Structure 1
Amino acid sequence: MIVGVQRHLHARSAALLGSIERGLPRIMTWWFVLALAASALRVATSPLDGRPPELAMLLPYWLLTCVPLISMGLALRWFANADQLPQPTTRLAVVGRWRTVERHEARSNALYGTTGFMVSLLVGMLINVPVRAAEYLAELPAISGPVPQWLNSLQLMLTLDVVLLPSLYVIAFVAALRRVPLFPRLLVAIWGIDLAMQLGIAHAVTATGDLPAEVATTLHSVLDGNVKKVLISVALWLPYLLMSRRVNVTFRSRVPA
């Protein structure tokens, strides 16, 4: 019975993975439409004192909408034949006992591929993009005209966060989908960048010196929540990336010794 359940779950994960791969053009189109509509709504509901939107005010929303799409398009091109890339010469994942096998042997292994539990990681990276965009749109109104220095710094850093990190997670998503050997290292590096970004936002905004107390409290709560989400992801997925037989067969061409 357990074997039957495992086969059923594997079949469902494989079907979901196939739907994601075939549906990428449709996903990208829907992202463009929905992100643009949400951005327009955010601008329309912001206190602009009757002034028409300026180009500088609209730029963050164009970046939020377009940069993840550009990143995905570039990654799909970069990693078109990624499973042909050579393995790294130095192993950083040294936990466990493994035996390196030839590429053709790894591909013939039943665990080769990004199905199974791996699909949950792929979906999580993809969902991270609209979640961060929604948080950005909810937290920060459109800004126009002369504003305090702390608000300028806050907008700049939060815009950098919502443009850079989702784009990096999209690249990692495609790297996993295309079975790039360096995917596990790439994801760990992005986690590090994510944590550093939250600390950078806190430092840059508080360094202005005129941050209102209530804004500082809210910002601390938001950044603390972001850090906790990254640490939870690390705690959940890093052991999997190190010890999973599927990950090791697919990305490192090695099997249990």
Structure 2
Amino acid sequence: MVRVVKDHLYRKSVAVVLSMQVNLERIVAIWVLAAAFACGLRLAFPATPYDGPPWASGTGLLPYLLVVGAPVGSLLLGLKLFPAGRIHAQPAFRLAQVGRWRKLDCLKAREMSQFGLYGVMASLLIGIAVNVPVRTLEFLSSIPALGSYSPSWFIGLYGVMLADVVILSSLYMFAFAMALRLAPLFPRFLVMVWGVDLLAQLSIAKLVAGMDNVPHGVDAALLDMLTGNVKKVLISAAIWLPYLLLSDRVNVTFRQRVSVK
């Protein structure tokens, strides 16, 4: 019974990964349409009125073009830098030293059943991709559009939160592209992104704490959101870092080595 369930879940993971690879352009198009619609709604309710059409203002339309377009650009860049079907060189220095491993020939690794983005690895891939719309929705729901008469503290807050969503969404999508193309640097790049994410949340908290005239309610709400982001990153790292280090699938697929029992 357990074997039947495992086989069923494995087949589902294969179907999901293949669907993402085949329908990537459609997924990107859906993202652009949905995110643009959500950003349009956010523009319709600014913190302060606009002194003209919001699409004619650099502080109106441009930030949301970045929110929608930066992850797409990062994904396309990653796919271009790591072409499909190419065997990428392994890094000269191996950071993942935990466990005992035997090196594999790159062609031998691709013949093994553990090679590929299937099984549990598919869940990680989906989680990375879902991170982008979740982070974007958090930004859009918590930070109003600037308008033309925003106070200086809100302009500063808006700027750091915009940078956070644009940069981190782009980094996560680049990691997603690396995973899709089986780039050997994917595991360490994802760990780096987690570190950048944690550092970003702590830095934003410090920056906002140093701003003058921030209302207490805004300060408290922002602290709750940043704390939640830190917890999500720590939970993700706690769950997936051991998997990235010890999983046979990750090691065969990205490091071309197999465990020595």
> In structure 1, what residue type is equivalent to 2:132?
V
* 2:79 is equivalent to residue 76 of structure 1: yes
Match of 1:203 in 2: 206
Match of 1:92 in 2: 95
The secondary structure found in structure 2 opposite 1:84 is coil
Structure 1: 5+ residue stretches without partners: none
Match of 1:236 in 2: 239
Deviations 1:136-190 (A, max 9, x none): 1100111122332221111001000110101110110111111100100000000
CA distance in 2 between partners of 1:26 and 1:14 (Å): 19
Structure 2: 5+ residue stretches without partners: none
Quote how far apart the aligned CAs of 1:47 are: 4.6
Quote how far apart the aligned CAs of 1:17 are: 0.6
Match of 2:179 in 1: 176
> In structure 1, what residue type is equivalent to 2:161?
L
**Equivalent of 1:249, from 225, 247, 252?**
252
The secondary structure found in structure 2 opposite 1:175 is helix
Q: RMSD over aligned Cα, in angstroms? A: 1.4
TM-score by length of 2: 0.94
Residue 57 of structure 1 contacts residue 144 of structure 1 at CA under 8 Å; is this kept in 2? Answer: yes
Match of 1:43 in 2: 43
CA distance in 1 between partners of 2:24 and 2:51 (Å): 38
* 2:215 is equivalent to residue 212 of structure 1: yes
The secondary structure found in structure 2 opposite 1:30 is helix
Quote how far apart the aligned CAs of 1:6 are: 2.2
Match of 2:136 in 1: 133
1:255–1:50: structure 2 CA closer, same or farther, 3 Å change rule? Answer: closer
Residue 49 of structure 2 contacts residue 147 of structure 2 at CA under 8 Å; is this kept in 1? Answer: no
> In structure 1, what residue type is equivalent to 2:139?
Y
Match of 2:163 in 1: 160
> In structure 1, what residue type is equivalent to 2:14?
A
1:154–1:116: structure 2 CA closer, same or farther, 3 Å change rule? Answer: same
Quote how far apart the aligned CAs of 1:13 are: 0.6
> In structure 2, what residue type is equivalent to 1:239?
P
CA distance in 1 between partners of 2:31 and 2:136 (Å): 11
> In structure 1, what residue type is equivalent to 2:20?
I
TM-score by length of 1: 0.96
- Matches for 1:16-31 after TM superposition, within 5 Å: 16-31=16-31
- Count of paired positions: 257
Q: Runs of 4 or more off by more than 3 Å in structure 1?
A: 47-51
> In structure 2, what residue type is equivalent to 1:77?
K
